[in-house]
Chains A and B, each alone.
Chain A
Amino acid sequence: MIGYVVRRLLLMVPILLGLSILVFLFVRALPGGPAIALLGERATEESVEQIEEQLGLDQPVHVQYGRYLGNLLSGDLGTSVSTRQPVTSELARRFPATFELTIAALIFAIGLGIPLGYIAAKRYQGVLDNVSLVMSLIGVSIPVFFLALLLKYIFGVQLGWLPTIGRLGITVSLEHPTNFYVLDSVLTANWEALTDSLKHLVLPAIALGTIPLAIVARITRAATLDVLSEDYVRTARAKGLDPLVVDRRHVLRNAMLPVVTVVGLQTGLLLTGAVLTETVFAWPGLGTLILNAIRFRDYAVLQGGVLVFAVIFVLVNLIVDISYAFLNPRIRYR
């Protein structure tokens, strides 16, 4: 097991290096060149020269990359054109918002998707099975921003049940030791802020979680159906084991293996979806940061944001692979 983890960790090094090369090339491929890209189109000649010298654009490419990588490793991702703040601190400030939203969406998707898929498989071709099949098909066909807009309109605007903008009402005050608002409210025992921040989470989390929910439900259903027809399940039943025990120990546990993989693959979808969901609900996370960066051509922020998203994605896949190996010994010994 430890050997496997070490091997997977080592495999990350070339991926991360490759990512840094890709992002490095990205800025150099931008229309107008990196200096204009980083300073904006109305940059003066002086500032262009200054930044070119600063970036070492007169140096050979490999020297430039070396310098870039050095900056990257010391946590320097440049300065935002629009806020004049270091990109790293901007990213760090907004990361908890996106993380909190993603976790909430994931809880929604897994918490509902697994039971739904499981029950659908147990009542194979029953009403619930067919309903969940149709729902999951619509789920994979609906663009996340459309769903988000619909939810916002119905539950926020028309019914007025839930807030639709931001992470916290303006009348609620909260200290932010961690910037994870739910965690902050618990830490400071601020129960008003806790309910308010949870309420703010509901709609964005449902919007972001629905597509993964559809996929998780479908995979759980398919995996459960596969396992239900296995010999060991029949054997367990034949020897008179309590049906509930068979379901729990034999069926559910084995059916979870493909589900874990799929949940891991969903992270990419969740991160992408977060970019779109955050815009609709004015959620001050990495997604809105990246979109504003596109809008204002703030390439330093765009570059940093894409890098952070990709690194999170790679890390999550690593965690999924490791937990998969933990759950399924067959992988470990390969």
Chain B
Amino acid sequence: MSLAESEAAELHLERPSGLWRDALDRFRRNPGALVGVFLILVFIVAAVFAPAIAPYEPHKQVGPLATNPEGPTTGHLLGLDEQGRDLFSRILFGARLSLLVGFVSVLVGLALGLVLGALSGYLGGWIDFAIMRVVDLMLSIPALLLAIGLVTVLGRGLFQIMLAIGIVQVPIFARLLRGTILGQKEADYVLASRSVGVPKLRILLVHILPNSIAPVIVQATLAMATAIIEVAALSFVGLGPNDPGLPEWGRILAENANRLQQSAHLVIFPGIAIVLSALGINLIGDGLREAIDPKLRS
């Protein structure tokens, strides 16, 4: 590294403050957010290294078939399921599914919602009107029912399910971004760019979007928790991914709901996995909200 470069790096470090730097500082000082980061890191590690960590293959029968399988033993940390599969291994591999669903479906919802919200907020007029009426319509159907309807039509492949959960989130993102853009549109810096002749699309992409994105990031984080719970709920009502071997947490829980009395572990542990992952994401989301919210900046 040359002298100039290292000086630049130092200068960069000492740069006094800015929205994101302040936000990061506040985030790091928030104990709840740190707990959330820790939880999610655990789940990410579990998901990425599942093949290495899991003591058994998730689909393999390693114990006896049983109507009411036994709970945790020394050989099987979280016990066995009715087909003699190791529950701990299944839950580890389930983390892959849940995180994937959370991530992809939010990406779908975010992408579609951002495009619709940006068009609606920035262009206004009849486009705004048309998009917002569709959004109103989608919001008038309770989320899970809309997802149920979409999955019935689209089919029960994993991708279709992620698509369905993503679509359900579109109106929330669209409305949120539209609102913040409307607020930014009249800001002085936008008027300034317009007056010097910067093209509309460039103003939208370079000036308005970066300034409107903070609440969207918070919402996207929280939506990931909703997505994880929603895919479990779809499994619970029998509309989960149609591959019966998939160790989806909601499905494990749903299939064993009537064994609660004899084999409580088959319900409790996947349930705890869902709660902890959703809790971790919610904690991060809340931490981000508090870190970014300009009202809390002093």
Residues of A near any B CB (own CB < 8 A): 14-15, 18-19, 22, 26, 29-31, 137-138, 140-146, 149-150, 152-153, 157, 268-269, 271-272, 275-276, 279-280, 290-291, 294-295, 299, 302, 306, 309-310, 313-314, 317
Contact = CB atoms under 8 A, between A and B. Distances in A.
B239 A294 contact: yes
Interface SS majority for chain B: helix
A106 to B, nearest CB: 15
Contacts of A280: 257
Nearest to A25: B153
A268 B138 CA distance: 12
Given A144-B233, A271-B142, 4 more contacts: A31-B155, A143-B233, A153-B264, A268-B143
Interface string B157-194: 00000000000000000000000000000000000000
Contact of A314 (B32, B140, B232): B140
A312 B104 CA distance: 31
Interface SS majority for chain A: helix
Interface in B127-163: 133-134, 136-137, 140-145, 148-149, 152-153, 155
B145 A310 contact: yes
A180 to B, nearest CB: 22
A306 B141 contact: yes
Best-buried of A149, A299, A310, A313 by chain B (most CB within 10 Å): A149
A213 to B, nearest CB: 16
A272 B144 CA distance: 6
Interface stretch (B20-28, B46-54, B105-113, B277-285): B277-285
**Leading 3 A-B pairs by shortest Cβ distance:** A141-B278, A141-B279, A272-B144
B261 interface: yes
Given A137-B279, A150-B271, A157-B261, A313 B140 contact: yes
A145 B236 contact: yes
Contact of B261 (A140, A153, A302): A153
23 contacts: A15-B140, A29-B153, A137-B286, A140-B225, A141-B282, A143-B250, A145-B232, A146-B267, A146-B274, A149-B253, A150-B268, A268-B142, A269-B142, A276-B233, A280-B257, A290-B145, A294-B238, A294-B239, A295-B238, A306-B149, A309-B141, A313-B141, A313-B142
A162 to B, nearest CB: 16
Given A138-B275, A153-B264, A310-B145, A291 B232 contact: no
B233 A145 contact: yes
